[in-house]
Structure 1
């Protein structure tokens, strides 16, 4: 199991030389392309919210998705209609790759560069490994994407996630003569870290969501000069002041996330059971869906807390703010899973904090940059129900603490993790890349 890095004090935000944090309007002209694994999927809220915010600022964006989402997000039908999907069946992909190859032949210098990258990467990974042959398939997908990029007249490619989308995207950028930037998140660097130094050196910048991630990427051989922190900002506005929980009513605790091991919902249920056994009157809402739903429901029964737990299922983005407003505490018990995957800085925590909800999470990855223990929330040890239960009881028993942490958390989330602040940082990198390519 991959061990998290030790966590020194969070470093201050910094931008590479030549990049300003000042608000920037969109340049005139052709679109910036966006590539993500499942662009309009339910779990890709932060990507499509970022696209919408860019377009409100006047940027033109051409959206592309590696896969067609299994669970499309509600309210994103317009984005879905204009998003082109690369992997929409082998026949379509191969036909698109063939057309892309014909286009590539008309640009021999770009084709030679992209082929050179592929050969280098296959040899580096090892031709005997399956991962190397997957690169060949991804290069074929890049032929299709590069043709679309040329057809749309795109001037830059931005890629969310540094694994498969970045592999396809960097080859497509080479084939189409574009510069590209990458935003790295969590699973894509902690578990699926193929060719990270090569991707970073080829990109104009490798952006990531936390200082923790930046330090981790340095340990993987990524040059610091290529790295910068641009957080996934929240689009919710500050919530109204929160009333104290009514006397004699259960304290409402909520958690939101995919029901997978790294979210620690089992740990949260065990902590809930411990707190209830100590006399705390708590009600837990778990919003989200995933493969562990039935095992978690069974665990709640086994622990004797099933009457206190509601499994709400997947929740649309528009519903989240209203639901958060009904909570007294938000808890997310993030942990490292059996494959070494873990969260970066969960957007759900940012959203809860922006609404003034006091939060409880774990000392893991970039979370302490958002949840500063005792100042903007409380932290427990990852994977330890006893530690989580102790902090949960501390919050349950102290209304003044909840009020103080909720107010301080909202200020911190909106000052440092707001969408507008981080959009300024992101567009500064776009402008720098466009200037380097002579496109502004």
Structure 2
């Protein structure tokens, strides 16, 4: 089968799951071409692995073009669809990109199109209208809380939509016509459980180490995590913290660490490559992320990677937290995102109970292998593409 993936930028450091998905489908014998609108920044390219840079070189850039003669028969339908999309998201630009994408698709016709993210979905929808190539989409957690004027229009044409967690799927389906449910499928991003293997737990003679990761944004709650570490230390636990990532909130996080007197035990190493993440997880006893409750973070991949590595996780009550964690089994789920006191109590309790941490770590690994293995998730996605291709044959 020949697939054409359409994404905003490829590969993106904060969206490595898309690159892994493309590679996994290719490993299963599918031809996957990638079309993209915006190249990664030079800074991002400089920090990518060679395999990621190779993916970037293979991607086909798409700019805006004028319509061609082949577009004219379906142009009125495309114009009506485009008018129903959000006018704040560059309507003329996305129409021009749809013309350009349609031209490439006619030159190398795929069996199917698949889009990630709203802007790419709208362009793909329009290109599908212009060419007749069927399409599907992946819908991510934070998209569902932001109306781009495209969901209802897209669901009228697409074959299927895969959702990265059940909470996001149910939230969006509550706002769409009932017919959308038949096209909706739960396909987690998944974790490469053969790559993220169980790691030995550090000795408890060392400080109790907490690790977290993500873009340093306000929604991640890293300032709350620093305050919780400070409280835990005041309560007698020798806790240290490493936060992997970079972003606009770094100065704020450092300021909170200084204010609470824990600068010496809070490490902010900056951006860490995906290949280095297991090393940092291996140095830790537990992963924690008190992120804002909403669909900014439904179920971050790094949470599942820590669990696959045999680490308990402590989370705020994220929309999809319960899809990976049963409190007291694979980790803990806080009462609220602002429950700094409760987070500190959890860290103190875990720091004092190595047997419980080890047991939770084993349970976390087992849960991910059972429910979130990347291989099984890609098989599910492949089967959806195959089913739709056979139905349309």
- 1:252 and 2:217 equivalent? no
- 1:352 and 2:309 equivalent? no
Normalising by structure 1, what TM-score? 0.83
Residue in 1 that maps onto 2:155:
200
Q: Distance in 2 between matches of 1:383 and 1:197?
A: 34
**In terms of mean alpha carbon deviation, does 185-194 or 142-151 score higher?**
185-194
Residue in 2 that maps onto 1:64:
35
Unpaired stretches in structure 2, ≥5 consecutive residues: none
Maintained 8 Å contact 2:201/2:282: no
Residue in 2 that maps onto 1:19:
none
For residues 266-316 of structure 1, the C-alpha deviation after alignment (integer angstroms, 9 at most, x for no partner) is 111111111111011011111011111111111111111100011011111
Maintained 8 Å contact 2:220/2:291: yes
Maintained 8 Å contact 2:241/2:266: yes
- 1:143 and 2:118 equivalent? no
Maintained 8 Å contact 2:168/2:295: no
**Which of 37, 43, 49 is the matching residue for 1:74?**
49
Residue in 2 that maps onto 1:114:
78
Structure number with greater CO (CA < 8 Å, separation at least 6) is: 1
Residue in 2 that maps onto 1:235:
192
Normalising by structure 2, what TM-score? 0.93
Q: Helix, strand or coil for the counterpart of 1:37? A: strand
Residue in 2 that maps onto 1:155:
111
| Shift of residue 150, structure 1, vs aligned partner | 2.1
Maintained 8 Å contact 2:198/2:308: no
Q: Distance in 2 between matches of 1:234 and 1:69?
A: 24
**Which of 255, 261, 269 is the matching residue for 1:298?**
255
| Shift of residue 118, structure 1, vs aligned partner | 2.1
Q: Helix, strand or coil for the counterpart of 1:316? A: coil
Q: Distance in 2 between matches of 1:169 and 1:240?
A: 37
Pick closer, same or farther for the CA change 1:418–1:291 going to 2, 3 Å: same
| Shift of residue 346, structure 1, vs aligned partner | 0.4
**Which of 279, 291, 297 is the matching residue for 1:322?**
279
Q: Distance in 1 between matches of 2:390 and 2:73?
A: 21
What aligned pairs does 1:12-411 form with structure 2 within 5 A after superposition?
A: 27=1, 31-70=2-41, 71-72=44-45, 73-75=48-50, 76-86=52-62, 93-94=63-64, 97-98=65-66, 101-102=67-68, 105-119=69-83, 121=84, 130-131=87-88, 134-161=90-117, 163-222=118-177, 223-237=180-194, 242-336=199-293, 342-380=296-334, 381-411=336-366
Maintained 8 Å contact 2:71/2:99: no
Q: Distance in 1 between matches of 2:185 and 2:160?
A: 7
Q: Helix, strand or coil for the counterpart of 1:147? A: helix
Maintained 8 Å contact 2:306/2:313: yes
| Shift of residue 242, structure 1, vs aligned partner | 4.6
Residue in 2 that maps onto 1:416:
371
Maintained 8 Å contact 1:238/1:354: no
Maintained 8 Å contact 1:184/1:208: yes
- RMSD of aligned C-alpha atoms? 1.9
Aligned length: 385
Residue in 2 that maps onto 1:24:
none
Pick closer, same or farther for the CA change 1:369–1:290 going to 2, 3 Å: same
Maintained 8 Å contact 2:309/2:365: yes
Residue in 2 that maps onto 1:20:
none
**In terms of mean alpha carbon deviation, does 34-43 or 133-142 score higher?**
133-142
Q: Helix, strand or coil for the counterpart of 1:202? A: coil
Maintained 8 Å contact 1:324/1:355: yes
Pick closer, same or farther for the CA change 1:165–1:211 going to 2, 3 Å: same
